[in-house]
Structure 1
Amino acid sequence: MLLKVDNLVVNYGVINAVKGVSFEINEGEIVSLIGANGAGKSTILKTISGLLKPKSGTITYEDHEIQSKHAPKVVADGISQVPEGRHIFSGLTVMENLQMGSFLVKDRSQIKHNFDAVFERFPILQQRKNQDAATLSGGEQQMLAMARALMASPKLILLDEPSMGLAPIFINEIFDIIKEINKQGTTVLLIEQNAKKALSIADRGYVLATGKIQLSGTGQELLANEDVQKAYLGG
């Protein structure tokens, strides 16, 4: 098992956003967390990546508890997050954004390898490498945010709403890229409003409502579940 979240409780200001959530991710999986806005999904990702500290509960990654670690140490351990809304660095070029992603990688040959791999996967970024990142389209910015996270050589990548605000043509492309990243050895934890897409590529999924896990199963089991269809798939 790569990551285990056990009885996680997180307060967001005065709000009890996450109320005793437990789930696990095995190495090599795509796992989707689905749920309505405000269910606590983003809070969970931010807590795993060290941006928020839990009130209680444990997060175990590669057999070590990480819930008290600071974000840079979590990244150095092999967990990268692609935040909701992309958060690329405007005023910096595409190349400089990617260099920020490799900030904690000490091995220069590894950095070069990561650049080669990222440009092979996202050829548009190589074409635009000297452009201000703010001038990219929404879909290109999402690709840059994913590429920047991959520059840190993560074992686990946390994706927060990667299809949000994108045109349908880009949504399909982003999901193809997620599958490709996974196929090449990176484990994926995916949060996504587009539940149908998310579950269709997931090995397993968890349904979150009001800060708690309500259902879990394989992606296909959850797609076929009547309650999930009614609540999240427009069925």
Structure 2
Amino acid sequence: MSALLTVENLNVSYGAIKAVQNVNFTVHDNEIVSLIGANGAGKTTILRTISNLTKPTSGHINFQNQDILGMASAKIVSSGIAQVPEGRRVFAGMTVQENLQLGAFTRDKGTNLKSEYALIYDQFPILKERRNQDAATLSGGEQQMLAMGRALMAKPKLLLLDEPSMGLAPLFIEKIFDIIRTVNEQGVTVLVIEQNANQALKIADRGYVLESGQITMTGTGAELLASDDVRKAYLGG
């Protein structure tokens, strides 16, 4: 299986605080990879660094055999990486469809978005019902679907998901992870970071455990779910 994304010896600091320390991991084509850890472990910092929203101290990030470290964020999106940020961050005062349109900002101007909207609405039927509604008036679960749909409008090869279950009711959490599986089955590679280790590892081909900015354990999703250490630290015993 070929490596789609490779992160090597990544270090990120905020002043004197070392948020990420010598992190190495790989995401292969068509995988779901979960990066789990407690709040403050450095998970979001890693995703933001991949998208060039945070500057690293040192390290290498290769995507499709191209060094993307320091590449402009818009160019990273154009190259095939789209991120769904923590907290959804939909654009208030804009409709659902206008939010989706913004997801395609790096696409060719001649792209027929009508067919693209149809694909997203097929994936997320509730968004079609709400397409003319202000995005800020959606429920948390609906906003998460919109944030995912917006990212998918960029036609990514790799989808980065930052805490997709945060603040959602249990029913919506199940639905969101089912959608992540479906998106992956449709050919999109997924890197998901989560505090909800149980859900994240259930869908993962492979996983990494991040503690205090360092990767301390790796394995298949099933192996990590069965680990006593993971169960004690993240799965309630």
TM-score between the two structures when normalised by the length of structure 2: 0.97
Number of residue pairs matched by the alignment:
235
In structure 1, C-alpha distance between the alignment counterparts of 2:32 and 2:82, rounded to whole Å:
15
8 Å Cα contact 1:114-1:150 kept in structure 2: no
Which ranges in structure 1 are unaligned for 5 or more consecutive residues?
none
> For the Cα contact (< 8 Å) 1:6–1:23, is it kept in 2?
yes
Q: CA deviation at 1:13?
A: 4.1
Q: Give the equivalent residue in structure 1 for 2:171.
A: 169
**Amino acid paired to 1:233:** L
What residue in structure 2 maps to residue 3 of structure 1?
5
| Mapping for residues 152-231 of structure 1, pairs under 5 Å | 152-231=154-233
Which of 111-120 and 144-153 deviates more? 111-120
Structure-2 separation of matches of 1:142 and 1:184: 19
Structure 1 residues 58 and 142, CA gap change in structure 2 (3 angstroms): same
TM alignment of 1:107-118, pairs within 5 A: 108-109=110-111, 111-118=113-120
* Deviation of 1:70 (Å): 1.6
AA partner of residue 177 (structure 1):
I
Q: Letter of the 2:4 partner, please give it.
A: L
Matched residue, 2:37: 35
Deviations 1:196-234 (A, max 9, x none): 010000000000001100000000000001100100011
Q: What do the CA deviations read for 1:133-159 (whole angstroms, capped 9, x no partner)?
A: 000001000000000000000000000
> Could you tell me which amino acid in structure 1 is paired with residue 99 of structure 2?
N
Counterpart CA distance in 2 for 1:220 and 1:122 is 29
User: Deviation at 1:113?
Assistant: 3.2
TM-score by length of 1: 0.98
* 1:34-113 to 2 correspondences below 5 Å: 34-106=36-108, 108-109=110-111, 111-113=113-115
Secondary structure of the 1:2 match is: strand
Aligned to 1:147: 149
Q: What 5-or-longer segments of structure 2 have no aligned partner? A: none
Say if 1:51 and 1:70, in contact at 8 Å, map to a contact too.
no
**1:109 deviation in Å?**
4.1
CA RMSD of aligned residues (A): 1.0
* Percent of aligned pairs with the same amino acid: 62
